[in-house]
Structure 1
């Protein structure tokens, strides 16, 4: 552990254990232990400020420094487990804590555990698993691909646009081809999807397309297309547009 001197300096400034733990991204139990050992060994900041980390560590712990090494979570296994039904990051943290306690090793607090997992995902360019409740939300959008439909009698070719509605928990989907991506087809597709799924989810999550969302600015409530809002009200559901990507470059 390389934060001993910082802990003692914070303590000399009358910072709370919670403040120190949050600032240094360590557990409050660790901070409390350092406080206790410093009292036992009578190591105060007046003396510690003239010592380096190794000297402080040796002074406080002697040959017991190995006990300060946190048990590293197996994030490769954790990431795989998250794709199993019913498994959450909270559950895996609980199991990690239980394992650490059984072998007498210090463990990361939940917030740091979550942060380390996020860092692992970013480092390895993985996709984070998002926990969804069954039937809670319906993801809707135009697919983006354009199909060509040929009339078998006249040979006339017309374009078709694909509407896709997906229940993210089960990945069960409804797909419908439409002659255009106008508001009428958008709403009709929703109604047909509700009939297909035999129910309406609590939330509808569309992308920020103009047939459904007029405006969706950061720090402001989204403004929905009037017909789309009326449809949502009629079916007793709520439309929550997906977050927009921030593309403006500060100059």
Structure 2
């Protein structure tokens, strides 16, 4: 008001132009013209009448608008709000056009929008956002916990409370699990989708460590198992921004309602299993979803049936099966360690990094997003599971042999060769340790005729040389062709000056030397 009084003084007492007054007061020329016109309409000049305070001056310059003679028809704002949520293509302009079709003398578009925003502003803060039907589900854990008592030991263990809420209808789901681990986290999502009877387009969790490995404002890193669950159900996980509670205001309010209407009534009861606890929670959750809204018509269940249920994606034919994902490097023996067990992959992937998916019954191995191996999950710790197709050709040939088959091969060469192979395998702590020697004998059998192999094996058995190297040496030196007497009794000269016979050693024991001369 001070500037308005100065404006009137400059104009009516000093006769300044509008441009000069605007420059002096720091306002626009149009503002000076507007105020001067209002003063003329009110019959005011300078000096102002005595006793005219600021309130009276404002009332004279800005009189209230005369009331409309014909009241405008008021739209059904609750229905407008629902229509905006139900369909993606519905806009305020489309709803206004429909409104004007029924009420041609109704509000203009700008007034229609202003009055809708005014109506929406009276709602709770979590209802002010326009959520599309079937678009978003918010999930989080409640702070308080239940206690589940072990009937045998009397020990009480905590049970955490999982809360999920559909954004458009506020339809609420509650689950209890032993922990906030990844298996429990994903299992609660599976049961939530089944409770809803469908899948929303987006799932918005807080940055729960089980599901989000690295929280980030721009690129959160999801756990691979959580990402696999989202892929299986055809939805998208979009974690809330760190330290931004307004991003998940829906579930924050839902958690408060669960604590008030579900957890508080059960505070004095004792539960001895999760199943018993879930049975007590179910009717309270149903009552919460049936409770009427205070500021809008209907209930959570009514809005769910009207808005969310028709818009949810159908559940897949097969329920999600939890699986762990691990990053591993293939060992030099083309096996990967997973859960204390070892599983083969194609030998060409030795020393490469692979992704291992460990399910309840199977183990799958992926290289660059392509599955390269699948095995039944081994139960014994330290067990090796090997697919023969993954072996190199040489290893595969080695693995195809057995002791009986090796002995049968030796019998095909001759009885002495079969006997040698049998003795060779029996001489090792494990028969597999003699396989390589037997493979060497096969190679010799391709280079020498059967009669020489038989003679070499017979000679090796006689001297107890049970090895591939002995047979090879006998064949290479031609000893297999020598007679038995020559082989077992080598000829030496009967007498020689440098040969010490038994008489020499007898004399040495008696203290005399046969070579000692008498003095």
Q: TM-score range, shorter-chain basis?
A: 0.5 to 0.7
Per the alignment, do residues 74 and 147 of structure 1 end up closer, same or farther by CA in structure 2, a change over 3 Å counting?
farther
Q: Describe the SS at the equivalent of 2:209.
A: coil
Matched, 1:153 2:155: no
Q: Which residue of 2 aligns with 1:229?
A: 227
Matched, 1:108 2:106: no
Asked if the contact 1:214–1:224 (Cα under 8 Å) also holds between the matched residues in 2, the reply is yes
1:83, 1:151 → 2: CA distance? 52
Superposition TM-score, scaled by structure 2 size: 0.29
Asked if the contact 1:93–1:110 (Cα under 8 Å) also holds between the matched residues in 2, the reply is no
Structure 1 segment 51-130 matched on structure 2, within 5 A: 51-55=33-37, 66=65, 78=77, 81=78, 85-86=82-83, 90=92, 94=96, 98=100, 102=105, 108=110, 120-121=121-122, 128-130=127-129
Structure 1 segment 30-41 matched on structure 2, within 5 A: none
Asked if the contact 2:73–2:103 (Cα under 8 Å) also holds between the matched residues in 1, the reply is no
Q: Describe the SS at the equivalent of 1:205.
A: strand
Asked if the contact 2:160–2:180 (Cα under 8 Å) also holds between the matched residues in 1, the reply is yes
Per the alignment, do residues 100 and 197 of structure 1 end up closer, same or farther by CA in structure 2, a change over 3 Å counting?
closer
Shift of 1:185: 0.9
Q: Which residue of 2 aligns with 1:203?
A: 202
Give CA-to-partner distance per residue, 1:55-110, whole Å, 9 cap, x none. Answer: 17979xxxxx959x9xxx999x95xx37975466838972898499627x766367
Q: Which residue of 1 aligns with 2:179?
A: 180
Structure 1 segment 44-55 matched on structure 2, within 5 A: 51-55=33-37
Gaps spanning 5+ residues in structure 2: where? 1-27, 42-63, 86-90, 246-519
Asked if the contact 1:83–1:129 (Cα under 8 Å) also holds between the matched residues in 2, the reply is no
Asked if the contact 1:100–1:107 (Cα under 8 Å) also holds between the matched residues in 2, the reply is no
Per the alignment, do residues 158 and 91 of structure 1 end up closer, same or farther by CA in structure 2, a change over 3 Å counting?
farther
Largest Rg, 1 or 2: 2
1:100, 1:130 → 2: CA distance? 27
- Cα RMSD over matched residues? 4.6
1:221, 1:110 → 2: CA distance? 39
Q: Which residue of 1 aligns with 2:301?
A: none
1:115, 1:171 → 2: CA distance? 21
Asked if the contact 2:80–2:95 (Cα under 8 Å) also holds between the matched residues in 1, the reply is no
2:124, 2:198 → 1: CA distance? 36
Q: Describe the SS at the equivalent of 1:181.
A: coil
Q: Describe the SS at the equivalent of 1:108.
A: helix
Shift of 1:195: 3.0
Gaps spanning 5+ residues in structure 1: where? 1-44, 60-64
1:136, 1:205 → 2: CA distance? 10
Q: Number of aligned pairs? A: 188
Matched, 1:239 2:237: yes
2:142, 2:230 → 1: CA distance? 21
Shift of 1:170: 3.8
